[in-house]
Amino acid sequence: MSFVRKARKPRPLLIADAAPQAVEIDLARTALLVVDMQNDFCHAEGWFAQKGLGTQAARKPIPVLQALLPAWRDAGGAVVWLNWGIRADKRNLAPTVQFKGKRTADGVGYAEHSPLDHGPSLVQGSWGAQVIDELTVAPSDISVHKHRLSGFWDNELDTLLRQQGITTLLFTGINTDRCVFSTLQDANFLGYDCVLLQDACSTPSPAYVTKGVLYIVQLLHGFVASAATLLDALRVASSTSSPRTKES
């Protein structure tokens, strides 16, 4: 039995528009996290839409991700889908968490059924917990369920990333100020290098909330960049790399 790991050849990629300064990532050790792009948040008949919360903000990252994900995979980058997927019995959800999901006595909470019934909201395996049809989950992607705003709480995400040798995380999805930000903060606390791709994230919260999140990320937790610039960098890298180089 040998515990010797095969060394990975670094694959540097510059994200020129990152703030507070340009940042170089290693494609061989970076994962793109897609947070909560699920039916119950993004579909017109999902849990949130039936609460009257709308889907416009939740759907904003879709075209950005449709362009970015194939290019990222083609470059050999890892993709992690980080989705709400709760227990049907809600036994690991504290009363405050359940209240925030329900809000009112007659509201529809976690694991409950909306009037247009597509199954219990955000339960693992239900329609609402599935990634929206507009985005494709590839066989090589990793999917992780969460039951808190932070994707690192009480699940296997940290272990999965470390076993894949991942040290840098790119953040996309919804909502910028909620699950994306909470997960990014915990990632930073755990020692990951973090880059928030602001045009691949969205939230229905007022604009000043996002502005505050971007400020805090730049100040304390990592870097803020754009998926557009990352996509351009991937295209340049693809055009200047031979097939042999890509496979090495």
Which amino acid would we find at residue 194? C
Instruction: Choose, from 42, 146, 186, 193, the residue flagged as catalytic.
Output: 146
Catalytic residue among 42, 179, 194, 201: 179
Active site (annotated) includes residue 186: no
Active site residue 146: yes
Active-site residue, 194 included: no
DSSP-derived secondary structure for 190-247? TT-EEEEEEEEEE-SS-HHHHHHHHHHIIIII-EEE-HHHHHHHHHHHHHT--HHHHH
**What is the token pair recorded at 62?**
């879709």
Q: Are 67 and 231 in contact (CB under 8 A)?
A: yes
Angle at 146 between CA 207 and CA 202, to 5 degrees: 20
Just list the catalytic residues.
36, 146, 179
